[in-house]
Amino acid sequence: MTEDRLPLAELLAKAGDGDFLRSVAEAVVQLLMETDVDGVIGAWRHERTIDRQTYRNGYRDRTLDTRLGSLQLRIPKLRQGSYFPPFLEPRKTSEKALVAVIQEAWVGGVSTRRVDDLVQAMGLSGISKSTVSKLCKDIDERVNAFLDRPLAGDWPYLWLDATYLKQREGGRIVSVAAIIAVAANTEGKREIVGLHIGPSEAETFWATFLKSLVRRGLHGVKLVISDAHEGLKAAIRRVVGASWQRCRVHWMRNALSYVPKGQQSMVSAALRQAFIQPDRAAASQTLRHVADQLRAKWSKLGVFIDNSEADVLSHMDFPAQHRTKIHSTNPLERLNKEVKRRADVVGIFPNEGAIIRLIGAVLLEANDEWQLQHRYMQTEAMAELTPPLIDAVPTQISTAAA
């Protein structure tokens, strides 16, 4: 206890110094950490006891910004395990990624409206390129390991959704699609299985992405759920051989675009009658009946229903317990909002690597949270998928096709 009191005694002797309160705060916080780590170890410094769990292993420096100024702290390190003081909040991976993207944009001279304000709000008055590179490298390694990890088992359901972002390319600003892939396995657990950046309209884009998922082990896909993207359906047939479910929410919006606003509620209620039917045959019959009633007044709506009926009712071929999760991309809505929230902070990304760094970090954290939750889908109904509900092409692809 005598050793603990010596720093405070020395500080009291320096009461006339201008930074006295800051020095006292540093000493008090340091004493709190030393006491706390003694409890983690199970013994005081140099104490011999059977309760000791590990040993000290030096310190690492950390700056804590307070109203008294920046406190220079020395956080104790352990030989086994780790210690982090509870009153210091470690930055999450995604927050580090956000800092890295902003720093990279700022150091590289990329001009966005909010970069300067954000940098100042984070307490960054300046940073070297080497520091940025080191921070980015650490994040990139973790994100790439997550996005490239092997996938085991069968994954009956695959959701694909696109978020459009602004990126600087060749001196101009372009819009790119960040495609997020989420899949559910036969154990009823869902995982984020991929991220791809590029033009979402091209079939080659979709085929390249799907092939990369298959190479990593994404097999047994029975249904792919997404919005209507040009080239996607052909890529699904060619690469994974699964059915395609057109997102019902987006389909409804497209359908109502052919109807005056004053009539949309009535038309929407009529169309929804098809989706509450017990099976696909009844749903198709109901949708055809509604389409025929509406065709005389809105011919383009009738043509739209004719062309999209098979795609929007694909989920009716699958277990009833799963249909609320597989009829649209809505289960990804919360994830997309979080991705968009982080992306909006940056505004314009300096390059594709910055997009993968930030969005990938957000996905990594979300996936970790999902693994701690209960099963996403009922496993009992998964047994119904063992005999394929559709005539599907094997999900394996040849080396030549890959």
Contact between residue 255 and residue 271 where contact means Cβ atoms under 8 Å apart:
yes
Consecutive H or E run containing 147: helix 129-147
Measured CA distances, 198 to 100, 172, 236, 351, 395 (Å) = 22, 16, 17, 12, 24
What is the per-residue pLDDT for 193?
A: 96
Say what angle helices 129-147 and 93-107 make with each other, to 10 degrees. Answer: 130
pTM of the model: 0.70
What is the per-residue pLDDT for 19?
A: 63
> Any idea which residue has 């080191």 for tokens?
134
Say what angle helices 280-295 and 264-275 make with each other, to 10 degrees. Answer: 160
Measured CA distances, 399 to 211, 222, 273, 402 (Å) = 10, 22, 46, 5
What is the per-residue pLDDT for 131?
A: 58
Q: How many helices (H) and strands (E) does the chain have?
A: 14, 8
The torsion of the CA quartet 100, 103, 104, 108, rounded to 10 degrees, works out to 180
What is the per-residue pLDDT for 397?
A: 41
What is the per-residue pLDDT for 150?
A: 96
What is the per-residue pLDDT for 358?
A: 87
What is the per-residue pLDDT for 155?
A: 96
Measured CA distances, 72 to 12, 24, 56, 120, 261 (Å) = 19, 12, 20, 20, 62
Give the Cα separation of 47 and 15 in Å (integer): 34
Consecutive H or E run containing 107: helix 93-107
Consecutive H or E run containing 326: helix 323-326
What is the per-residue pLDDT for 13?
A: 54
CA-wise closest residue to 79 among 51, 47, 41: 41
The torsion of the CA quartet 334, 305, 222, 389, rounded to 10 degrees, works out to 140
Measured CA distances, 155 to 145, 341, 385 (Å) = 20, 29, 11
Give the Cα separation of 198 and 164 in Å (integer): 10
Say what angle helices 248-256 and 264-275 make with each other, to 10 degrees. Answer: 150
**Please, which contacts does 34-43 make with residues 24 or more away whose CB atoms are closer than 8 Å?**
34/4, 34/76, 36/83, 36/85, 36/86, 37/76, 37/78, 37/83, 40/78, 40/81, 40/83, 41/78
Note the residue count of the chain.
402
What tens-digit pLDDT sequence spans the chain (402 residues)?
444 444 545 545 554 444 666 777 788 788 888 888 888 888 887 778 887 888 888 888 887 766 667 788 888 888 887 787 876 665 566 656 656 666 555 444 444 444 555 555 555 555 555 656 666 777 788 899 999 999 999 999 999 998 899 998 888 999 998 999 999 999 999 999 999 998 877 788 899 999 999 999 999 999 999 998 878 888 998 899 899 999 999 999 999 999 999 999 999 999 999 999 999 999 999 999 999 999 989 999 999 999 999 999 999 999 999 999 999 998 888 898 888 888 887 788 888 888 998 899 889 989 988 988 888 888 888 888 865 444 444 444 443 343
Contact between residue 2 and residue 21 where contact means Cβ atoms under 8 Å apart:
no
What is the per-residue pLDDT for 386?
A: 64
What is the per-residue pLDDT for 6?
A: 47
What is the per-residue pLDDT for 393?
A: 43
What is the per-residue pLDDT for 395?
A: 43
What is the per-residue pLDDT for 343?
A: 84
Give the Cα separation of 362 and 342 in Å (integer): 8
